[in-house]
Amino acid sequence: MTLLILLLVVALLLLAPVVLHPSLTLRRAGRVFAFLAIVVVPAAAGFAGLEEHVERTKTVAFCTSCHVMQRYGKSLHIDDVEHLAAQHWQYNRVPQETACFACHTNYTLYGDYKAKLRGLRHVWVQYAGTIPSKIELYSPYNNRECLHCHAGARSFLESVTHKGEMAAIQANTKSCLTKGCHGTVHDVAQVDALALWPKEEKR
Amino acid sequence: MNETTLERRLRASGGLVMLGLMIEIASLTWRHPTAFILFVVGGGAFMAAGMFWFLYTIVSRGGE
């Protein structure tokens, strides 16, 4: 981050001679300098900044910075392993810092980009649209996202329940989030009444 | 194109890129979805406009 800010500041400083003394471009060396200062260095700094921003969009802190998502963030702290999101977060089954992204990206070729585009749409709805009273996924949760990590895991393969349903789970004809299986994910309706972990956390 | 016009255009393109960079630096100090939009739409647009204006200026000057 510090290096990135430094790069952006250097890009700014390199622009100063071009803006203050554009006559320096009358010479060939000046034109090369102007090209570097106006195009090459700012473009490099811009891409570095974009990379930093994209990485930030993967963090739980980023997702929960919008009011509408705060209860979903809080649900990660529910002190009950039956709550799927809380269990994954609390037992480090997903990276804690990027838990939202780990489960809500699509593990396909352009899944990350699609997730970012959906995020842009959410910002649009936040400011220019109507936030729905109940937040829902665009499409039913695909088992592919679960199997991205769990497929091949001994705990998954040796589960008697999984063994009996393996074909349906892999074909996504039976959702992992079916009631009776892993049906409680983000219980945002009850989150305020439930015990949280760690207990000393005030959220 | 006379040199004064060229200088004015170069100053303008440099200024646009500068403004874009300043917006990008400001957006990086804020961790919020709006900061991402500010970075891409605000900073990116000014920088792209400045770069395009610079390239257009030197290309059109070469044609004269």
- The DSSP symbol for A193 reads G
Does residue A188 fall inside a structural domain? yes
Measured in residues, chain A has a length of 203
- Domain shared by A131 and A192, yes or no: yes
- Domain shared by A18 and A47, yes or no: yes
Total tally of structural domains belonging to chain A: 2
Mean pLDDT of the region A95-116 = 92
* Residue B16 vs residues A46, A71, A128, A177, B22: alpha-carbon distances, Å: 14, 41, 28, 51, 10
Extract the tokens encoding A13. 């400083």
Does residue B64 fall inside a structural domain? no
Does residue A153 fall inside a structural domain? no
Mean pLDDT of the region A180-202 = 89
Mean pLDDT of the region B33-57 = 95
Report ipTM (2 d.p.).
Answer: 0.90
Give the global pTM. 0.85
Q: A114 vs A40, which has greater pLDDT?
A: A40
Mean pLDDT of the region A36-64 = 95
Backbone dihedral angles phi then psi of residue A196, each to the nearest 5 degrees = -115, 155
Q: Which of B3, B16, B24, B32 to mutate to test the interface with A (most CBs of A within 10 A)?
A: B24
For A68-86, b where at least 16 C-beta lie within 10 A, e where not — what string? Answer: ebebbbbbbbbeeeebbbb
With H, G, I as helix, E, B as strand and everything else as coil, classify residue A174.
coil
> Mean pLDDT of all residues in chain B?
90
Does residue A111 fall inside a structural domain? yes
Domain that holds residue B48: 3-59
Radius of gyration of chain B, Cα coordinates, nearest whole angstrom: 14
pLDDT at A61: 95
Q: Does A189 touch chain B (CB under 8 A)?
A: no
Domain that holds residue A121: 76-141+177-201
pLDDT at B2 exceeding the cut of 80 = no
